[in-house]
Amino acid sequence: MFETFDHTADIGLRISATTLEELFVDAARGLTSLLVENVGDVRPALTETIQLAGTETDYLLFDWLNELLFRFETGKLLCCEFDVRLTEQGLKATVRGEIGDESRHRLAHEVKAITYHGLSVQQTESGWQTELILDI
């Protein structure tokens, strides 16, 4: 589950999940929902693999979302399905989506950057939780 919250000229994501992998998936879904209004219209036509090295969970989450944003900004890739595996070395994910099509996808926000401001990933009694701020 993810929710957004306002933060001055930015927007925040607050995510709760049972497992750490689900947290990363829901964070990616949250980012996609900020990029395009009609997420349900994004089709899993393309498959890409993403590998990121890292051992600190909060920085790995930052790198994950930053990589997804980079792929959107440079190749207009909108992702709708995420299979994330975390290992001792980092993250390996398979993402599915399609190239954004202005005739079908209604762009929502221009997300300029994922920020370190307020970034935290915490284990809770019921799973995992994070908050992060995105520059829009």
Tally of CB atoms within 10 A around 125: 4
DSSP per-residue codes, 33-76: HHHBS-GGG----EEEEEEEE-S-HHHHHHHHHHHHHHHHHHH-
> What tokens were used for 114?
């994922």
Residue 135 token pair: 């520059």
In total, the chain counts a number of residues equal to 136
pLDDT of residue 7: 58
Q: pLDDT tens digits, residue range 29-59? A: 999 999 999 999 999 999 999 999 999 999 9
* 85 pLDDT tier (thresholds 50, 70, 90): very high
Q: What is the pTM of this model?
A: 0.92
- pLDDT tens per residue across span 5-24: 665 668 889 999 999 999 99
**Joined tokens for residue 35:** 């990029």
